[in-house]
């Protein structure tokens, strides 16, 4: 079993829809959770990070962490064609700066 599981997709939704992207993990020591967006043939860019449990909102993006279920989500409201990309989750235990455990990424396609 991988430490972080992420559905590779592709996930195809119409423009304007609410998108839900998810990762599950097995290591209860993970405390720091990140979402990256990666456009084709580009490096990943950090979208959001959250520490421990709870929600964090930034514009159209909301990151949610449920540590009891070992489940994290990224919601995108009013999705746009420019949101089409691969979304990678990453997580880290509290006591390590070097260990980022990555999901494989979900490819998202927003249809105009």
Give me the residues that bind other proteins (CB under 8 A), please.
4, 6, 8, 32, 34, 36, 41-46, 49, 51, 88, 90, 92, 94, 97-98, 100, 102-105
Q: Which is nearer to other proteins, 32 or 75 (CB)?
A: 32
Q: Select 49 or 61, whichever has its Cβ closest to other proteins.
A: 49
Token pair, residue 29, equals: 């020591």
Alpha helices in 1-112 (DSSP H): none
* CB of 17 or CB of 47, closer to other proteins: 47
Q: How far is the CB of 17 from other proteins (least distance, A)?
A: 24
Measured from the CB atom, is 17 or 24 closer to other proteins? 24
CB of residue 34 vs other proteins: minimum separation in angstroms? 7
- Closest approach, Cβ 11 to other proteins, in A, equals 14
For residue 83, is it left (φ>0), alpha (ψ between -120 and 50) or beta?
Answer: alpha
Extract the runs of DSSP E, i.e. beta strands, from the chain: 4-5, 11-14, 19-25, 30-38, 45-51, 54-58, 61-66, 71-76, 85-93, 101-102, 106-111
Task: Look up residue 35 and give its two tokens.
Answer: 């979402």
């Amino acid at each position: 079993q991988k430490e972080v599981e992420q559905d590779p997709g592709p996930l195809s939704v119409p423009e304007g829809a609410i998108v839900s992207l998810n990762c599950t993990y097995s290591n209860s020591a993970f405390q720091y959770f990140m979402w990256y967006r990666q456009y084709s043939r580009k490096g990943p860019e950090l979208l959001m990070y959250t520490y421990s449990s709870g929600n964090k909102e930034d514009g159209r993006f909301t990151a949610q962490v449920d540590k009891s279920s070992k489940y994290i989500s990224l919601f995108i409201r009013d999705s746009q064609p420019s949101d089409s990309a691969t979304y990678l989750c990453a997580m880290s235990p509290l006591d390590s700066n070097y260990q980022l455990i990555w999901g494989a990424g979900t490819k998202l396609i927003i249809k105009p």
